[in-house]
Amino acid sequence: MDKDLKNLTPERLQRLVEMFGQKAFQAGYLFTFIHQKGAADLDQITPLPKDFRHALRARGYVISTLTLRQQYADPDGTRKFAFDLPGGSRIETVCLRDGDRNTVCLSTQAGCRMGCVFCATGQLPFDRNLTAAEIVDQVYQVRSHCGAVHNVVYMGMGEPLDNLDAVMRSAALLNDENGANIGIRHITLSTCGLPAAIGTLAACDLRPRLAVSLHAPDDATRRKLMPVARKYPIDSIIAALRDYQRQTARRITVEYCLARAINDSDTHANRLVARLKGLKVNVNLIELNPFTGCPYEASPPKRIKAFAEVLKNAGLETAIRYRRGRRIQAACGQLGATQIKHP
């Protein structure tokens, strides 16, 4: 049985409370104090009877908390948090400030199995999946340092759909009105394109926004950038997205990182337009963010703008996402860069 109270849904907390012979409403205290008030110890949940708290502790129940190792601040307002996990792994979480609103970029795995060449995390060995508690605690710790969190994007270290059960449970915990109460349309899951998992996501009752990292309009180019493309060709991903859209009627974000002379020509742009025909999408063009050992360079700003114009002229809603947090290695593709072991 899971002994981490932060990992339990309201329904499971209620069963736990009843197992201990307590009134059902005590489950509400547990959930609210952990997920809304940030309680990190049972003794902080003062409405619970002392004998119940003692009984929980005696049976090994805990409220887990990540160990904050270090904070970094970029002059552009971006902040990065490095957390140590039990067992010795480390993850990084980013808070992006936009006016008076905070967006938190969450990690879902220590390391990553996908191996994307332009992503620092992809160069790290995969260690393990994070629990739902470890995922949501990133939000709670950032909230304690930066203030209210308005948006959550699962775009940090790891592939969210490779840890789908914990990710969806964490999204439900963050969305709960008695917890962080983050609206489901303010929660985005990003994937490199796992067709079966996209199908599973479409069938879920809880539906965060979906973002797909395509990064190329053809399989040959995509395989240079993303080893996962050898297993999942673009046709299979597009088919999964069409099925997803048929079931959900939700707009999809397509992420496209531009690497100089690799995937940034007008020909690539026109091919991308053809690939996305018939889908309701918006496209985010991302400047490649270098790290030591990355074999690619960012496309020049003029080339990025020209690429965007091709998409816009074809009727695709397109935005250019310029670098933020680059000076502290917190920009897209840079998380975990300091952990890479170079020969």
Return per-residue pLDDT of the chain as tens, 343 residues: 689 999 999 999 999 999 999 999 999 999 999 999 999 999 999 999 999 999 999 999 999 999 999 999 999 999 999 999 999 999 999 999 999 999 999 999 999 999 999 999 999 999 999 999 999 999 999 999 999 999 999 999 999 999 999 999 999 999 999 999 999 999 999 999 999 999 999 999 999 999 999 999 999 999 999 999 999 999 999 999 999 999 999 999 999 999 999 999 999 999 999 999 999 999 999 999 888 888 999 999 999 999 999 999 999 999 998 878 989 999 889 999 889 876 6
pLDDT for 342 equals 64
Residues designated catalytic? 92, 332
271 CB-near residues (< 8 Å, 6+ apart): 217, 218
Distance CA 210, CA 153 (A): 10
For the chain, give every domain's residue range. Answer: 5-58, 69-339
Paired strand residues for 256: 285
Percentages (nearest 5) of helix, strand, coil residues in the chain: 40, 20, 40
The 8 Å CB, 24+ separation contacts for 75-80 are 75/327, 76/324, 76/325, 76/327, 77/324, 78/324, 78/325, 78/328, 78/330, 79/142, 79/145, 79/146, 79/330, 80/325, 80/328, 80/329, 80/330
Q: Hey, what are 195's tokens?
A: 């067709």
The token pair that represents 119 in the structure block: 């992503």
CATH class as words, domain 69-339: alpha beta
Amino acid 1: pLDDT = 61
Structure tokens at 29: 């205290």
Convert 271-297 to b/e letters by CB count within 10 Å (16 or more is b): bbbebbeeeebebbbbbbbbbeebebe
Pick the closest to residue 53 from 28, 80, 88, 26 (CA basis).
26
Query: What is the second-level CATH architecture of the domain 5-58?
Result: Orthogonal Bundle (1.10)
Q: Is 88 exposed, middle or buried (0-12, 13-18, 19+ CB in 10 A)?
A: exposed
pTM, whole model, 2 decimals? 0.96
- Residue 179's pLDDT is 96
Which amino acid belongs to residue 38? Answer: G
Q: Are 23 and 47 in contact (CB under 8 A)?
A: no
Residue 337: the pLDDT is: 87
Closest listed residue to residue 155, CA positions, set 289, 300, 269, 299: 289
